Amino acid sequence: MAKVCLDPGHAGGDIDPGAVNAKTGLQEAAVNLAVASQVKKYLEAVGYEVLMTRTKAEQAETDSLAYRCELANHWGAEVVVSIHCNSAASGKANGTEIYTTLGETAGDQLATCIINQVTDTFPDIKLRADWDDGDPDKEENFYVLRYTDAPAVLLEMAFISNSAEAKKLADSNWQKEMSRAIARGISDYYAELSS
Ligand SMILES: [Zn+2]
């Protein structure tokens, strides 16, 4: 059975809310968990086994990225998808982006599958891509990407610091659409593996 690890970024609550929208107080950690929980539902409905690295609104041990990676590795995750919201000093920054580790890795294929579904689902969203190496993912040695054994990607869904995008991130219908896109991207990846 396919084993997918979902990693809702940040420990949540007072420990680490992630990025916070200055006007509305919307916390990234809460959005990440809401979306990841729905991705889990969609994947389980079609027979995937899913592990979440964080399941509570505030969960102290998840403040350690090493804890999250060990959890995924011990469980034998086949793919790891870390879910985040972006933030920038300028309220104008907007769009979606996905990260893998440096160089050509198995994560690149997973990243392409997910970002294709995200941009298909939200045709108006700006894709912040790095096409230098022929695929849309950006590359950065983020801890959760580097220390997980399985192909891993980190999705920055949209900018919580941008008021228009923060409104979407807070919207349950938008969250549902985003969750579906991520789940479809993951199943596209498995379909490509088996074809
Ligand atoms: Zn984050």
Q: Is the pLDDT of residue 1 over 80?
A: no
Could you tell me the distance, in angstroms and rounded to a whole number, from the CA of residue 109 to the centre of ligand 1? 22
Q: Which distant-in-sequence residues (6+ apart) come within 8 Å of 85 by Cβ?
A: 9, 18, 19, 28, 31, 32, 156, 157, 158, 159, 160, 169
119-127 mean pLDDT:
97
Could you tell me the distance, in angstroms and rounded to a whole number, from the CA of residue 189 to the centre of ligand 1? 24
Could you tell me the distance, in angstroms and rounded to a whole number, from the CA of residue 157 to the centre of ligand 1? 10
Could you tell me the distance, in angstroms and rounded to a whole number, from the CA of residue 94 to the centre of ligand 1? 15
Q: Is the pLDDT of residue 56 over 80?
A: yes
The enclosing domain of 39 has a CATH number of 3.40.630.40
Domain span at 109: 3-194
Q: Give the per-residue pLDDT at 49.
A: 98
Q: Which of 33-42, 58-67, 116-125, 133-142 has the lowest mean pLDDT?
A: 133-142
Could you tell me the distance, in angstroms and rounded to a whole number, from the CA of residue 10 to the centre of ligand 1? 6
Radius of gyration (Cα) for the chain, nearest Å?
15
Q: Give the per-residue pLDDT at 133.
A: 87
Could you tell me the distance, in angstroms and rounded to a whole number, from the CA of residue 194 to the centre of ligand 1? 32
Q: Is the pLDDT of residue 35 over 90?
A: yes
Q: Is the pLDDT of residue 29 over 80?
A: yes
Q: Give the per-residue pLDDT at 193.
A: 92
Q: Give the per-residue pLDDT at 54.
A: 98
174-179 mean pLDDT:
98
Could you tell me the distance, in angstroms and rounded to a whole number, from the CA of residue 73 to the centre of ligand 1? 21
Could you tell me the distance, in angstroms and rounded to a whole number, from the CA of residue 78 to the centre of ligand 1? 22
pLDDT in tens, 147-176: 999 999 999 999 999 999 999 999 999 999
47-58 mean pLDDT:
98
Cα 130 to Cα 41: distance, rounded to the nearest angstrom: 31
How many angstroms separate the most distant Cα atoms in the chain? Answer: 47
The tally of domains found in the chain comes to 1
Beta-carbon neighbours within 5 Å of ion ligand 1: 9, 18, 84
Please state the length of the chain. Answer: 195
Cα 81 to Cα 186: distance, rounded to the nearest angstrom: 9
Cα–Cα nearest to 1, from 190, 129, 182: 190
